[in-house]
Amino acid sequence: MAEQIIYIDGQYLPKSKALLSVFDHGFLYGDGVFEGIRAYKGHIFKLEEHLDRLYASAHTIMLKVHLTKEEMAQVIINTMLKNGLKDAYIRLIVTRGVGDLGLDPRKCPKASVIVIAGVITLMPKETVERGIKAIMTWIRRDPIDGTSHDVKSLNYLNSIMAKIEANNANADEAIFLNPQGYVCEGTAENIFIVKGGRIFTPPTFTGALPGITQAAVSTIAEKMGIRVETRPFTPHELFSADEIFFSGTAAEIIPVVEVNGRTIGAGKPGGLTNRLREEFSRYVSDPANGRKIA
Ligand code: PMP
């Protein structure tokens, strides 16, 4: 099988040759931003939204991206074409670039840009279909200052620590509370609860990333005649929800059936979650919601 082709700083190289300097501040300090994007049936889902979010994250951390959004879109499309992919998980990374051993970003003259197009499987299909077990972790989501998760930066230790706690507890995922104790999000997913036919998801000010899948779920729900209400909710409201689900580019829509030993609803994926999952798979393969790879 031909080697996977990676875009790195102006070149399309085989995976074994796509290497980054150990002096890159993305590696030394987690200094950079990224996006996870999916392509379905030859269309890159919500590409413009992902690029807008990437450039907004870069703006906040004062990282100059030397490619325009359109040039970046072309790089992503070319990476898909060079790998002969129509369905993929794409990782777009912009780091501060190569500097010295100090953390001062002024020492890094040029950002590094990397695009990897491959596949991602967060968990087995059967697990998702059964509904997953989650824990609410003792690790709080980073507050909305320096390492805020509404900036999609390369600092994911907060999420990784929570994932370790989920692994230790034999759970599939972790749910973060924010520093005030409100439910925030998963390690790389937004969270929704369903209660009495209403759907709630926490606002960005709780410390969650404004998810592109989260927004898509709202659009889909609205078409089904249900308006998603964005408001903070408590752990008690989470435990007593009829249904819980996660949303994310990699995750898509994942039902949650147990949290910290409490059964959620009937202990199986809820009716509304299942309907949203069906509508979601139609929505992502609608060419109107993506950019054609050509
Ligand atoms: N929250 C965090 C912290 C994430 O990393 C992700 C994955 N990008 C999400 C939520 C879900 O966002 P999206 O639907 O845009 O992938």
* Measured distance CA(172)–CA(29) in Å, rounded: 28
Helix 212-223 vs helix 271-284: crossing angle, to nearest 10: 110
Average pLDDT on 227-253 reads 98
DSSP-assigned states of every residue in 172-183? SEEEEE-TTS-E
pLDDT at 147 over 90: no
Structure tokens at 193: 């609860």
Give the pLDDT of residue 139: 97
Examine the pLDDT at 1 and tell me if it is beyond 80. no
Task: Write down the domain spans for the chain.
Answer: 5-120, 125-285
Q: How confident is the model at residue 71 (pLDDT cuts 50, 70, 90)?
A: very high
What fold does the segment set 125-285 form as a domain?
D-amino Acid Aminotransferase; Chain A, domain 2 (3.20.10)
C-alpha of residue 184 to centroid of ligand 1, in Å = 12
Residue with CA closest to ligand 1 atom 6? 188
The answer to whether domain 5-120 has CATH 3.30.465.10 is no
Cα gap 241→198, rounded to integer Å:
10
Q: Write down the pTM of the prediction.
A: 0.97
Res 120: pLDDT:
86
- Residue 162 CB–ligand 1 contact under 6 Å: no
List, for residues 104-128, the tens digit of each pLDDT value.
999 999 999 999 999 888 899 999 9
